[in-house]
Amino acid sequence: MRLNHNKILITGATSGIGRALAEHFCQLDNQIIAVGRNEAKLEELAKLDNRIATYKCDLSSQLELDRLVTFIKQKHTDLNILINNAGIQYNCNLLNDTYSLQKVDNEISINLTVPIKLIASLLPVLQINSNAAIVNVSSGLAIVPKAKSAVYCGTKAAIHIFSKSLRYQLENVKVFEIIPPLVDTKMTKGRGKGKITPKRLVDEFIKAFKSNRYEVNIHKVKLLRIVNRISPTIADRIMKRATT
Ligand SMILES: NC(=O)c1ccc[n+]([C@@H]2O[C@H](COP(=O)([O-])OP(=O)(O)OC[C@H]3O[C@@H](n4cnc5c(N)ncnc54)[C@H](OP(=O)(O)O)[C@@H]3O)[C@@H](O)[C@H]2O)c1
């Protein structure tokens, strides 16, 4: 992949991994369309650099999602990279009273349905441009799940397999998957040890992106995949009781 002179839409660009991706790609001289809900954080991003344009959108609203797609089709027909990064994790199990069916819907929608809908809607734009790519952000939990947050693990496993199948389908658009370990962001605030910074994740991803390595196992996920290959039982035992 060419690392500069792209137009890149990043969902969940207001925080954590998405924000780090937005800043890094901007420094590499790309045009960024940063999507998020938090207006103050979007304004802050826009002030960083005039190559960052922002678009406020609650991705859980079909109406707002449709508006975003129309906006891209009308104003940004040169969009060539879509990064599906926005995600949520409620981190509670189905027996927990606070885990309502509304939350189940929301978690599946943001982590799985919305990325698929965005890809399906924006593919006609992406595929007419050169150096076209889709980047989906899954999780190490897509490979080996933990007991807590079964729905989250399920959505990430689904986006993992979806990305692989889509990669087989598409000829002119490359499909990448970032598979992060525990990263120090708002999502993991107050829990977990040994987290890496979003910047470290981005540095590792960029190297893989440049050399067309499509499934990007970040940091400890590399080790997790080796353990899982040698002994799935040991990998399951390690991850099952993870509190993070
Ligand atoms: N942190 C980790 O350890 C870790 C590990 C594996 C995978 N991941 C994945 O990495 C991705 C980024 O996570 P993160 O850790 O950077 O989390 P984060 O700091 O909590 O950021 C999540 C982003 O998603 C956006 N978002 C959530 N719901 C949205 C909605 N309804 N509409 C629009 N935007 C929405 C948020 O935007 P607003 O704040 O503007 O609403 C925010 O920018 C997620 O897909 C996550 O599952 C994270």
Q: What is the mean pLDDT of the chain?
A: 96
Q: Are strands 7-11 and 81-84 parallel, antiparallel or unpaired?
A: parallel
Look up the pTM and report it. Answer: 0.97
Q: DSSP assignment of 27-92, as one string?
A: HTT-EEEEEES-HHHHHHHHHH-TTEEEEE--TT-HHHHHHHHHHHHHH-TT--EEEE--------
Q: Does a structural domain hold residue 2? A: no
Distance (Å) from CA 13 to ligand 1 centroid = 8
User: Does 92 have pLDDT greater than 80?
Assistant: no
Q: Are 10 and 202 in contact (CB under 8 A)?
A: no
What would the two tokens of residue 8 be? 């890149």
Residue 1 lies in a domain: no
Given this model, what pLDDT does residue 243 score? 60
CATH code for position 17: 3.40.50.720
Pocket of ligand 1 (CB under 6 A): 12, 14-18, 36-38, 41, 57-60, 85-89, 110, 137, 139, 180, 182-183, 185-188
**Does residue 105 form part of some domain?**
yes
| Tally of domains within the chain | 1
Task: Check residues 191 and 18 and name the one with the higher pLDDT.
Answer: 18
> Does residue 206 lie within any of the structural domains?
yes
The answer on pLDDT for 97 being more than 80 is no
Indicate if 152 belongs to the active site: yes
Which structural domain range is residue 207 located in? 7-240
Q: Calculate mean pLDDT across residues 161-173.
A: 97
13-22, 176-185, 203-212, 233-242, range with the lowest pLDDT: 233-242
Pocket test for ligand 1, best of 21, 88, 239 (most atoms within 8 A of CB): 88
pLDDT for 161 beyond 90: yes
Per-residue pLDDT at 95 = 83
For residues 81-105, b (16+ Cβ closer than 10 Å) or e, as one string? bbbbbbbbbbbbeeeeeebeeeeee
Distances (CA, A) of 170 to 83, 176, 213: 16, 12, 16
Please report, rounded to a whole number, the percentage of residues in the chain having pLDDT higher than 90. Answer: 91
The pLDDT tens digits for 31-71 are 999 999 999 999 999 999 999 999 999 999 999 999 999 99
Q: Which of 14, 11, 54, 48 has its CA nearest to residue 33?
A: 54
Question: How many helices (H) and strands (E) are present in the chain, helices listed first?
Answer: 9, 7
Pick from 91, 159, 183 the residue to mutate for probing ligand 1's pocket: most ligand atoms within 8 Å of its CB: 183
